[in-house]
Structure 1
């Protein structure tokens, strides 16, 4: 069974299975945060070492996404997807039975490896299965619904499992989900042959890319502890830049590059990734500072925080599922992206004026609704824009690049905005001082979103007039 021989019903079943796999990965990215304190007490983590339960996953995940996407193009996206699911599920079981700190952190690293292999190729498989513009928009909207709701659902599920059972269950729950997804994937997800290792068997390039991205993610994650101008940050940051630069130089010279640089010159791919980099750098502030505000200023508990973000997740999911596709078909990616970014900008400006003695219904909920509406419009439109610049031979790479931009942009934004808030607060733990620090960071985040709007206006092409005859164009490489 291949993508070209699938029936209409078969394509939507395959999409559902792929979304189930992505949901499992997304749940794990946030579900751990709620259980960190229980893990600390049970395994005796010091506060500084506890961050590696999260960072071990993020370094492997963020560092391998681009390579995983390209390997999917070379060896076959379905094969890489199945290997990723298997590694992720087995690593989850090891996490669940971990009795030592080293065992848990090591298993979390391999979870990140499996998560990267799985996530990097999903969007590439979706656009290959749905080449028609209208069905592709609907399929990407469905995928956007899952990506939008997964994070918030992870917070709620993590709180429920940790409170009702124990932290081991946040990992053990992946075993039945992973096995079910594997069986369904073997049955319903079509085989997509790769172009062969000979088209990109650059071992040294793979080492340079993976090492550079992992070091970059590590540098960003450690900024909060060591500072932006510390010797460690400057050394590891410089090392990451040198490794990635060496990779790019090598790709321009080798006969069969791991990453064809022509893709990176695509207007659609470059613009979509630039917008995403700016947008997610700002959007991560909503989840991070919003959760802290609810806990420190309004006195919410972990489960209450998770439930508080459900309106944003539901709004984003419904918008991605029901509105993004029709908007894309009617107005094109440019108008859809700009409208969504304007909604996110308004959300950030509302959060910037939130008082220390505010209330959830009046000061938080309206902004979260705008956040969900904007994200639900932008993410599917941006995915579609990026993938329009890809061919079947590099769809996995494009998907992996977009995922990398999301992870790295979010990490950079969170590190920078957290530092800005901390500097503004100046160590004062009072709700008024903390809220003032959050408010200033929201304004900085709003500037980032405004920059994304400028990029969208300047570089996203408006749709052609309807009166013009349609032609079968090559992917945008301008």
Structure 2
């Protein structure tokens, strides 16, 4: 009978709490906010850090690169750990690693150990971010049903991507107080993220599998070495044996990783997901889109400060035109993904991106933000149409693999592409700018050797650490560089045209690849993947 005590007791048992979708999305956005902001915030504060701690130019570049290097090396591991230990748990661990590292970066002591201190804890920051991001994305995918997932991920990618533009603005404001605050600001953000994560009641399910330690070491070494070679190419030179030893050696280790993983029953990265044509197309489109997306922050910011004589804060506002288009298009792209699949928004995005970057490049020599903003926004819209649909479709297509694992793969591809883009486009910018400046100065009567020396000084000032300040000092070289800076604004703008046309070409290649996408909507399981994680795809 329903009135028996046993029946009443059973009826009185509380139902298991379901994840709160809005709180879960907000928690993950706060968590990843720190990782995106820190990709750009340090470059703005670089001159003040160098001045106070007495770091060398190459040492400061290592402080910037250590974060990105660690991020690229450990993303795949982060995605796999989210599977084995549970994405909610890894979000918490990654957040704690990141925020503790941030506090230690802000507490760096002055003296001989300052440079090593900053590099070490910037690297652990990157490790925390590598743990955090794939797990956070896996949580978002898990708590939203398939019919709402496209829009949720569009919001996730749109807002988290826009936070990259917040870095320069926030960095400029905080540095006015103390540059150490750019690291300490992560503490309140982390506290909010952790509180919301607990309140969201996200379920955590672990996969009963073992971690592939050898695979983790191989991919970390391979990614780390090759990315290091690209990062240091600006300093070592493309004719340096060290540059090519790192790049070729890293790629060789990645090939070894691929061969090793094929024979594993429980691999770190399930390479069988690439058997799906759509997943492969999604990954390649993301690769070529990221050749432009991350580098544009650096190159547009430095262009604004050098050629448009903008302050760091004004340069950050210049980037907001890009994110105005990005944010709007990412929402449209999410709706298209839900209604028609990923092929249409990717085609639209790659076309808009290619046209937008090409038109933007053509307007760079006008030296006017007012003339450029429509094309800046158009380029941003192109990227906005691509990122969320391609990333979400990749996750949905790889049904047999876990969400954490697939996110680790796609994010590794994205970060690797960003490193390649920064290195290759940076080399192109330096080469073209030096040629332009030398030509201008020799036409004014300066000797070839003197012109090359001044051009090199300017190149180091604007492309080394993102520091666009006019070289200081009282020596003849510094004086010549200062005199030259006022006359080479157009030279630098013309050099940047090559960079932005390169970005347009990358988006054009992405369009040709997007045409190969099979199209169609994907209907992944409607049940929460955290409740019943899918088994791995067989590797044979």
User: What is the CA deviation profile of residues 397-421 of structure 1, one whole-angstrom value per residue up to 9, with x for unaligned ones?
Assistant: 1111111111110110121112122
Given that residues 341 and 521 in structure 2 are in contact (C-alpha distance below 8 angstroms), is that contact kept between their aligned partners in structure 1?
no
Given that residues 89 and 179 in structure 1 are in contact (C-alpha distance below 8 angstroms), is that contact kept between their aligned partners in structure 2?
no
CA RMSD of aligned residues (A): 2.3
State the alpha-carbon separation in 2 of the partners of residues 289 and 258 from structure 1.
35
Unpaired segments ≥5 residues, structure 1: none
3-state SS of 1:353 partner:
helix
Counterpart of 1:369? 377
Select the residue among 433, 442, 452 that pairs with 2:510.
Answer: 452
3-state SS of 2:356 partner:
helix
State the alpha-carbon separation in 2 of the partners of residues 148 and 330 from structure 1.
23
Unpaired segments ≥5 residues, structure 2: 1-14, 438-454, 456-487, 527-533
User: What is the CA deviation profile of residues 420-466 of structure 1, one whole-angstrom value per residue up to 9, with x for unaligned ones?
Assistant: 222223341522222222112222222211110000012x122279x
- 2:163 counterpart of 1:155: no
Shift, 1:95, TM fit:
0.7
Any residues of structure 2 matched to 1:391-410 within 5 Å, and which?
391=399, 393-410=401-418
Any residues of structure 2 matched to 1:302-381 within 5 Å, and which?
302-321=312-331, 323-362=332-371, 364-381=372-389
Counterpart of 1:176? 188
3-state SS of 1:34 partner:
helix
Counterpart of 1:92? 102
Select the residue among 386, 389, 401 that pairs with 2:394.
Answer: 386
The 1:471/1:394 distance shift into structure 2, 3 A limit, reads closer
How many residue pairs get matched? 462
Given that residues 425 and 437 in structure 1 are in contact (C-alpha distance below 8 angstroms), is that contact kept between their aligned partners in structure 2?
yes
Select the residue among 24, 31, 37 that pairs with 2:34.
Answer: 24
Shift, 1:471, TM fit:
10
Given that residues 23 and 196 in structure 2 are in contact (C-alpha distance below 8 angstroms), is that contact kept between their aligned partners in structure 1?
no
- 2:121 counterpart of 1:107: yes
Shift, 1:326, TM fit:
2.1
- 2:23 counterpart of 1:13: yes
Select the residue among 416, 424, 446 that pairs with 2:424.
Answer: 416
State the alpha-carbon separation in 2 of the partners of residues 216 and 312 from structure 1.
30
Given that residues 297 and 357 in structure 1 are in contact (C-alpha distance below 8 angstroms), is that contact kept between their aligned partners in structure 2?
no
The 1:229/1:5 distance shift into structure 2, 3 A limit, reads farther
Counterpart of 2:501? 443
Q: TM-score, normalised by structure 2?
A: 0.81
Shift, 1:336, TM fit:
0.8
State the alpha-carbon separation in 1 of the partners of residues 326 and 377 from structure 2.
8
Counterpart of 2:4? none
State the alpha-carbon separation in 1 of the partners of residues 269 and 121 from structure 2.
29
State the alpha-carbon separation in 2 of the partners of residues 411 and 367 from structure 1.
25
State the alpha-carbon separation in 2 of the partners of residues 196 and 7 from structure 1.
23
User: What is the CA deviation profile of residues 224-281 of structure 1, one whole-angstrom value per residue up to 9, with x for unaligned ones?
Assistant: 1112332001111122112111111111223332222212322232211100111111
